[in-house]
């Protein structure tokens, strides 16, 4: 039953997983095509194949949903991706804006032993360098307490726990602001007219942050 999948097939499953996570099920063809930067026709083809393999439920002109086995595989890929990202940052000193593409390749190396050893070596991290939860061997996630910074009231003692945008440029910008995972923030003031915030970073630097940024930053109290 657990027949070895190609890199392409794995990427489709992951794309469906991601789209379902944000857009809900069923996932339509165009969304997958966009996610994978591929033609819609290619997606149709692949959905037929994945359906034949029992990994997804697929109805023409309607959409696709992951079945149990497909969901298991997608979750495993996400586990691998996030563990590799953690490794690259924690062990090989990469920046959080540099690791996505490498992890995208590393995640396709198919060895449970490898990934479990890596997990052990890293000390069973619960979150990756972007603050996203790392599924355990059974595919279970640790929930993260997260609020968008943009939606918090004026408040002191916040901690950055994640970002919803993994774009290298965005991450680099945060780096320049001295904002990273674990950084402590206080919201000092809110400006109605453009929804920007005045924020104190690490009780140190005071900056104005646009809504563009604050709406992609997850924080938790304390």
Partner DNA sequence: ATATATTTTTAGACAAGACTAAAAATAATT
Partner DNA sequence: AATTATTTTTAGTCTTGTCTAAAAATATAT
**Residues numbered 33-92 forming contacts with DNA, rule: CB under 7 A:** 33, 37-49, 58, 60-63
Q: Which stretch binds a copy of itself (CB under 8 A): 11-19, 21-29, 117-125, 169-177?
A: 117-125
Question: 8 or 92: whose CB is closer to a copy of itself?
Answer: 92
The site partner of 93 among a copy of itself, DNA, none (C-beta below 5 to 8 Å per kind) is a copy of itself
Q: Does 134 bind DNA (CB under 7 A)?
A: no
The site partner of 41 among DNA, a copy of itself, none (C-beta below 5 to 8 Å per kind) is DNA
* 39 contacts: CB under 8 Å, gap ≥ 6: 33
For the CB of residue 46, give the shortest distance to DNA in the complex, in Å: 6
**Binding footprint of a copy of itself, residue count (CB under 8 A):** 15
Q: Does 106 bind a copy of itself (CB under 8 A)?
A: yes
User: What contacts 24+ positions apart, CB below 8 Å, involve 42-46?
Assistant: 43/12, 46/8, 46/9, 46/12
CA distance 137 to 149: 31
For the CB of residue 98, give the shortest distance to a copy of itself in the complex, in Å: 8
The site partner of 47 among a copy of itself, DNA, none (C-beta below 5 to 8 Å per kind) is DNA
* 72 contacts: CB under 8 Å, gap ≥ 6: 139
The site partner of 94 among a copy of itself, DNA, none (C-beta below 5 to 8 Å per kind) is a copy of itself
**Residues numbered 71-100 forming contacts with a copy of itself, rule: CB under 8 A:** 88, 91-94
Question: 102 or 207: whose CB is closer to a copy of itself?
Answer: 102
- Asked, as a colleague might, if the bond just before 104 is cis with ω within 30 of 0, I would say no
User: What contacts 24+ positions apart, CB below 8 Å, involve 94-100?
Assistant: 95/171, 95/175, 96/129, 96/130, 96/171, 96/175, 96/180, 96/181, 97/168, 97/169, 97/171, 97/172, 97/175, 98/168, 99/129, 100/166, 100/168
Q: Does 105 bind a copy of itself (CB under 8 A)?
A: yes
CA distance 118 to 165: 26
User: What contacts 24+ positions apart, CB below 8 Å, involve 18-23?
Assistant: 20/65, 20/66
Question: What is the contact surface with DNA in residues (CB under 7 A)?
Answer: 6-9, 11, 28-31, 33, 37-49, 58, 60-63
Question: What is the contact surface with a copy of itself in residues (CB under 8 A)?
Answer: 88, 91-94, 102, 105-106, 109-111, 114, 117-118, 121
């Amino acid at each position: 039953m657990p027949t070895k999948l190609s890199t392409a097939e794995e990427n489709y499953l992951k794309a469906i997983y991601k789209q379902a996570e944000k857009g809900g099920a069923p996932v339509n063809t165009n969304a997958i095509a966009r996610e994978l930067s591929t033609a819609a026709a290619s997606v149709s083809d692949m959905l037929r194949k994945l359906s034949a393999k029992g990994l997804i439920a697929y109805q023409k002109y309607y959409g696709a949903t992951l079945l149990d086995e497909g969901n298991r595989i997608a979750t495993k890929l996400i586990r691998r991706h996030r563990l590799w990202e953690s490794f690259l940052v924690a062990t090989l000193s990469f920046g959080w804006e540099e690791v996505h593409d490498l992890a995208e390749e590393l995640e396709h190396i198919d060895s449970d032993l490898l990934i479990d050893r890596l997990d052990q070596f890293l000390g069973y991290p619960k979150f990756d360098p972007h603050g996203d939860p790392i599924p355990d061997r059974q595919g279970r996630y640790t929930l993260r307490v997260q609020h968008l910074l943009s939606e918090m009231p004026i408040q002191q003692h916040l901690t950055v726990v994640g970002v919803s945008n993994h774009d290298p440029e965005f991450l680099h910008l945060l780096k320049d602001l001295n904002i990273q995972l674990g950084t402590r923030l206080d919201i000092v003031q809110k400006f109605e007219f453009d929804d920007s915030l005045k924020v104190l970073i690490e009780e140190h630097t005071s900056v104005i942050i646009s809504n563009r940024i604050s709406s992609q930053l997850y924080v938790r109290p304390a």
